[in-house]
Amino acid sequence: MTIESHKETLGFQTEVNQLLKLMINSLYSNKEIFLRELISNASDACDKLRFEALSDDALYEGDSDFRIRVDFDKEKRTITITDNGIGMTREEVMDHIGTIAKSGTKQFMSALTGDQAKDSQLIGQFGVGFYSSFIVADKVTLTTRKAGLGHEHGARWESEAEGTYSLETVEKTSRGTEIVLHLKEGEDELLDGYQLRSIITRYSDHINLPIEMKSTEEGKEDEYEAVNRASALWVRPKQEITEEDYNEFYKHVAHDFEDPLTYIHNRVEGTQSYTSLLYIPKRAPFDLYERERSHGIKLYVKRVFIMDDADQLMPTYLRFVRGVIDSDDLPLNISREILQKNQQIDKLRSASVSRILGKLEKMAKNEQETYAEFWKTFGKVMKEGIVEDTANRERIAKLLRFSSTHNDNDAEDVSLDAYIERMKEGQKDIYYITAESYAAAIGSPHLEVFRKKGIEVLLMHERVDDWMISYLSEYEGKSLKSIAKGALDLGDLEDKEEKEAQKEAEEALKPLVERMQKAIGDQVKEVRVSHRLTDSPSCLVVEEHDMGASLQKLMKEAGHNMPKVTPIMEINPDHALVEFIKAENDEERFKEWSLLLFDQALLTEGGQLNDPVAFVRRMNGLLLDDKKVA
Ligand code: ADP
């Protein structure tokens, strides 16, 4: 049958053009990875077909032996990679091969610096897959036919990477995909059987289907033979798997270019038998903070690929974990719907979570530098676990790291245990402050009395902190207390004299406090004498059960209608400005001074003034008035 080919020429997305250029330059020193990427795609395509054929074996069209073939032609100067996987329709080719569907592409592009060394690291992290063909080829022809007798025609995609590609409908009898790389000038060393074999064994030995090449034996030149081991890596005995094997397999499952930070490989026999091979990456993917993004666990049943992104297998806060779980007991026809309420899956998940936490605990103890690297990359996400995973809250809490007044920089490396160990005699609670930035936290007036007494305070300055900490009220029998909430009670950390001095100050300033409260009006719930300030004239606190300022802001941004929290203003009885205001007899000016104290307190905690113009006018007015007086 002849067909009309509908040949059309299309332009790449702008991103693809940029990406191609960058990739060709930055990955050239690692050029042989193109083969790994294409074999990885071919293997995924076979996995997908094997899974779909579970419910419709007509898709096999009588051929259920999967294989990937690599051929080369010295004359034509081509390398060809062929698979008999699921293939693509013309539409699918258009969707997958001229565009980058990856979420985060935009952010990725804007993260590029123009500095080649830095950008090539980034590109590795982003993953380039099919496009890596253009590192060694100046023309690529992809011909593919979707599996199943309903798809009689194939599609051909061809590009010289010059901004456009062509797409046409073609005859193709065999299902699957064939990719022909027309090598660039100077890449002839790749047209060599030994060279190609060694690349395949180096990068793709773990692929669990045969990767075949023509035999090198005399007289058998037309026969194909497998050049890899073609057995699932995760079922091999651990002692037979090298570090490189683990790393290469990671790159395949995670579509990453870098080695992982660590892995956990386990075989479990019992009421439920399964193997899991889980990886913690070194770097965060670009879309790490989109909580809805796909998860990275592939589910297999008895070596048969079932699905990608099995989000039931990993809680959201561990969405950066990659790897495979291969169950011996689940039914092969398990669907996403069934996964959601399957008890076996729940058990698999909690066992996997436990293993990952266990690995991190060990790392935190024995390899502190690696753990610090991990925490820097994934700490923010781990904090979500405090909210999400009630069953493991204690364990996750142990893994948390914070900035602290104990450090002289913003490094997050103080654990709750380390804090407890350093607690002052008589100290019962763990003190913390939340703020919008490290600078706001470390500069907060609330810290003053703690600094004076040498009591450590944890500085929480990330957006998730306020939310997270509202779920962590206790650790190892100690309460976590915000130093910006409620009345400050330092308990035994204050001596009798201090307490008496405070009482006296409160008595003495009662009239001032009342006057000020009236002057400021309903912007404050109360004005009171502070015990926490040594240097600043005023600060704001909220009631114990009220939401902290940054959480309020976060909730509002997320579109929640938040009831207004009215703060309490505390004034420093020993501050010169407070003394000065106390002596002010003009009620109008007294009011202006009081409002100024309030606005200052609001500003120091990173809050926003209701009326910045009024603030400036008021301040200038007071400054000039003073001059006149003087
Ligand atoms: P990635 O593999 O990271 O998704 P690629 O650019 O390598 O990115 O591939 C894009 C998509 O094209 C794949 O997700 C897949 O849907 C499709 N694809 C690539 N190679 C093949 C193949 N050999 N057979 C079938 N589909 C393929």
Q: What are 537-549's pLDDT values in tens digits?
A: 999 988 887 877 7
Q: What are 331-361's pLDDT values in tens digits?
A: 877 777 777 778 888 899 999 999 999 999 9
Q: Does residue 42 line the site of ligand 1, with CB under 6 A?
A: yes
Distances (CA, A) of 98 to 9, 92, 144, 149, 591: 11, 10, 15, 26, 67
- Pair 38, 171 in one domain: yes
- Pair 475, 547 in one domain: no
**How many of the other CB atoms lie within 10 Å of CB of 343?**
8
- Report if residue 491 sits inside a domain: no
- Pair 155, 225 in one domain: yes
Residues in the chain: 630
Instruction: Give the confidence band of 18 by pLDDT, cuts at 50, 70, 90.
Output: confident
Q: Report how far residue 280's alpha carbon sits from residue 375's, in angstroms, rounded to the nearest whole number.
A: 12
Helix ranges (H only) for 367-445 are: 368-388, 393-399, 416-421, 438-442
Q: What are 443-461's pLDDT values in tens digits?
A: 999 999 999 889 999 999 9
Query: Could you identify the atom of ligand 1 that is nearest to the CA of residue 42?
Result: 23
Residues 429, 479: contact at Cβ < 8 Å?
Answer: yes
Q: Does residue 129 line the site of ligand 1, with CB under 6 A?
A: yes
Amino acid 158 reads E
Which residue, by CA, sits nearest to atom 14 of ligand 1?
A: 96
Residue 5 pLDDT > 80: no
Q: Does residue 130 line the site of ligand 1, with CB under 6 A?
A: yes
Domain of 304: which CATH number?
3.30.230.80
- Pair 584, 437 in one domain: no
Q: Does residue 177 line the site of ligand 1, with CB under 6 A?
A: yes
Q: Does residue 127 line the site of ligand 1, with CB under 6 A?
A: yes
Q: Does residue 308 line the site of ligand 1, with CB under 6 A?
A: no
Q: Does residue 85 line the site of ligand 1, with CB under 6 A?
A: yes
- Pair 64, 202 in one domain: yes
The strand ranges marked E within 102-226 are 137-145, 153-159, 164-171, 176-183, 211-214, 224-226
Higher pLDDT, 111 or 472: 472
Q: Does residue 229 line the site of ligand 1, with CB under 6 A?
A: no
Indicate the burial class of 601 (C-beta count within 10 angstroms; 0-12, 13-18, 19 or more): buried
Q: Report how far residue 34's alpha carbon sits from residue 196's, in angstroms, rounded to the nearest whole number.
A: 11
Which residue, by CA, sits nearest to atom 3 of ligand 1?
A: 129
423 Cα–ligand 1 center, Å = 55
130 Cα–ligand 1 center, Å = 7
Which of 311, 322, 319 has the alpha carbon at shortest distance from 345? Answer: 311
Widest Cα–Cα separation across the chain:
111
Query: Could you identify the atom of ligand 1 that is nearest to the CA of residue 48?
Result: 25
Boundary of a domain, candidates 342, 366, 390: 366
Q: Does residue 285 line the site of ligand 1, with CB under 6 A?
A: no
Instruction: Give the confidence band of 292 by pLDDT, cuts at 50, 70, 90.
Output: low
pLDDT at 254: 86
Say how many domains are in the chain: 4
Residue 524 pLDDT > 70: yes
Q: Does residue 315 line the site of ligand 1, with CB under 6 A?
A: no
- Report if residue 42 sits inside a domain: yes
Q: Does residue 309 line the site of ligand 1, with CB under 6 A?
A: no
Instruction: Give the confidence band of 502 by pLDDT, cuts at 50, 70, 90.
Output: confident
- Report if residue 255 sits inside a domain: no
- Report if residue 385 sits inside a domain: no
Domain of 42: which CATH number?
3.30.565.10
41 Cα–ligand 1 center, Å = 5
Residues 230, 211: contact at Cβ < 8 Å?
Answer: yes
The strand ranges marked E within 6-48 are 8-11
Q: Does residue 154 line the site of ligand 1, with CB under 6 A?
A: no
Give, for ligand 1, the residue of 41, 59, 95, 142 to mutate: max count of ligand atoms closer than 8 Å to Cβ.
41
202 Cα–ligand 1 center, Å = 22
Token pair listed for 479? 């309460």
178 Cα–ligand 1 center, Å = 12
Using H for helix, E for strand and C for coil, what is the string for 486-526?
A: CCCCCHHHCCHHHHHHHHHHHHHHHHHHHHHHHHHHHHCCE
pLDDT at 43: 94
255 Cα–ligand 1 center, Å = 11
243 Cα–ligand 1 center, Å = 27
- Report if residue 164 sits inside a domain: yes
Q: Report how far residue 403's alpha carbon sits from residue 123's, in angstroms, rounded to the nearest whole number.
A: 31
Query: Could you identify the atom of ligand 1 that is nearest to the CA of residue 86?
Result: 25
Q: Does residue 81 line the site of ligand 1, with CB under 6 A?
A: no
Boundary of a domain, candidates 180, 214, 230: 230
Which residue, by CA, sits nearest to atom 4 of ligand 1?
A: 129
118 Cα–ligand 1 center, Å = 26
Residues 551, 434: contact at Cβ < 8 Å?
Answer: yes
Q: Does residue 83 line the site of ligand 1, with CB under 6 A?
A: yes
- For 337, half-sphere exposure in the C-beta direction (CA atoms, 13 angstrom radius) is 1
- Report if residue 559 sits inside a domain: no
Q: Does residue 146 line the site of ligand 1, with CB under 6 A?
A: no
Query: Could you identify the atom of ligand 1 that is nearest to the CA of residue 176?
Result: 24
Give, for ligand 1, the residue of 12, 44, 49, 209 to mutate: max count of ligand atoms closer than 8 Å to Cβ.
44
Q: Report how far residue 310's alpha carbon sits from residue 324's, in angstroms, rounded to the nearest whole number.
A: 10
CA angle at residue 549 from 544 to 551, to 5 degrees?
95
Give, for ligand 1, the residue of 38, 80, 96 to mutate: max count of ligand atoms closer than 8 Å to Cβ.
96
**What is the DSSP-derived secondary structure letter of residue 29?**
G
Query: Could you identify the atom of ligand 1 that is nearest to the CA of residue 129?
Result: 7
pLDDT at 185: 94
**How many of the other CB atoms lie within 10 Å of CB of 41?**
21
- Pair 479, 514 in one domain: no
Q: Helix 193-204 crosses helix 33-53 at what angle (to 10 degrees)?
A: 60
pLDDT at 629: 46
Helix (H) or strand (E) holding 92: helix 90-97
Q: Report how far residue 299's alpha carbon sits from residue 331's, in angstroms, rounded to the nearest whole number.
A: 12
Which of 132, 104, 179 has the alpha carbon at shortest distance from 23? Answer: 132
Residue 4 pLDDT > 90: no
Higher pLDDT, 250 or 109: 250
Q: What are 254-279's pLDDT values in tens digits?
A: 888 889 999 999 999 988 899 999 99
Q: Read out DSSP for 554-622? A: HHHHTT--PPPPPPEEEE-TT-HHHHHHHT---HHHHHHHHHHHHHHHHHHTT---S-HHHHHHHHHHH
- The per-residue b/e assignment along 48-72, b for 16 or more CB within 10 angstroms, e otherwise, is bbbbebbeeeebbbeeeebbbbbbb
Region class of 346: left (phi > 0), else alpha (psi between -120 and 50), else beta: alpha
Which residue, by CA, sits nearest to atom 15 of ligand 1?
A: 96
339 Cα–ligand 1 center, Å = 26
- Pair 457, 328 in one domain: no
Q: Report how far residue 287's alpha carbon sits from residue 110's, in angstroms, rounded to the nearest whole number.
A: 13
Token pair listed for 232? 């699932």
Average pLDDT estimate for 416-440: 93
96 Cα–ligand 1 center, Å = 7
pLDDT at 73: 96
- Pair 77, 209 in one domain: yes
pLDDT at 124: 60
pLDDT at 293: 57
Q: Report how far residue 519's alpha carbon sits from residue 312's, in angstroms, rounded to the nearest whole number.
A: 57
Listed in sequence order, the residues at least 6 apart from 259 whose beta carbon sits closer than 8 Å to its beta carbon are 247, 250, 251, 282
Q: Residue 341: phi, psi to the nearest 5? A: -130, 40
253 Cα–ligand 1 center, Å = 13
- Pair 450, 415 in one domain: yes
Using H for helix, E for strand and C for coil, what is the string for 272-321?
A: CCEEEEEEECCCCCCCCCCCCCCCEEEEEECCEEEECCCHHHCCHHHCCC
Listed in sequence order, the residues at least 6 apart from 517 whose beta carbon sits closer than 8 Å to its beta carbon are 524, 526, 527
Domain of 415: which CATH number?
3.40.50.11260
Q: Report how far residue 69's alpha carbon sits from residue 309's, in angstroms, rounded to the nearest whole number.
A: 27
- Report if residue 282 sits inside a domain: yes
Q: Does residue 47 line the site of ligand 1, with CB under 6 A?
A: no
Lowest mean pLDDT among 33-47, 229-243, 295-309: 295-309
- Pair 47, 181 in one domain: yes
Per the DSSP assignment, residues forming a β-bridge with 528 are 570
Token pair listed for 21? 């250029």
Residues 552, 610: contact at Cβ < 8 Å?
Answer: no
87 Cα–ligand 1 center, Å = 10
Residues 536, 448: contact at Cβ < 8 Å?
Answer: yes
Query: Could you identify the atom of ligand 1 that is nearest to the CA of residue 102?
Result: 4
Query: Could you identify the atom of ligand 1 that is nearest to the CA of residue 87?
Result: 25
- Pair 357, 430 in one domain: no
- Report if residue 381 sits inside a domain: no
Region class of 93: left (phi > 0), else alpha (psi between -120 and 50), else beta: alpha
pLDDT at 626: 62
Which residue, by CA, sits nearest to atom 16 of ligand 1?
A: 96
Q: What are 81-132's pLDDT values in tens digits?
A: 999 999 999 999 988 886 765 556 666 777 777 676 667 666 666 667 898 8
- Pair 221, 354 in one domain: no
Helix ranges (H only) for 98-224 are: 105-111, 116-126, 133-136, 193-204
Q: Does residue 324 line the site of ligand 1, with CB under 6 A?
A: no
List the domain range (segments joined by +) for residue 586.
509-554+564-624
Listed in sequence order, the residues at least 6 apart from 538 whose beta carbon sits closer than 8 Å to its beta carbon are 445, 530, 569, 570, 571, 572, 578, 597, 598, 600, 601
Query: Could you identify the atom of ligand 1 that is nearest to the CA of residue 128?
Result: 6
Listed in sequence order, the residues at least 6 apart from 217 whose beta carbon sits closer than 8 Å to its beta carbon are none
Token pair listed for 471? 């779920």
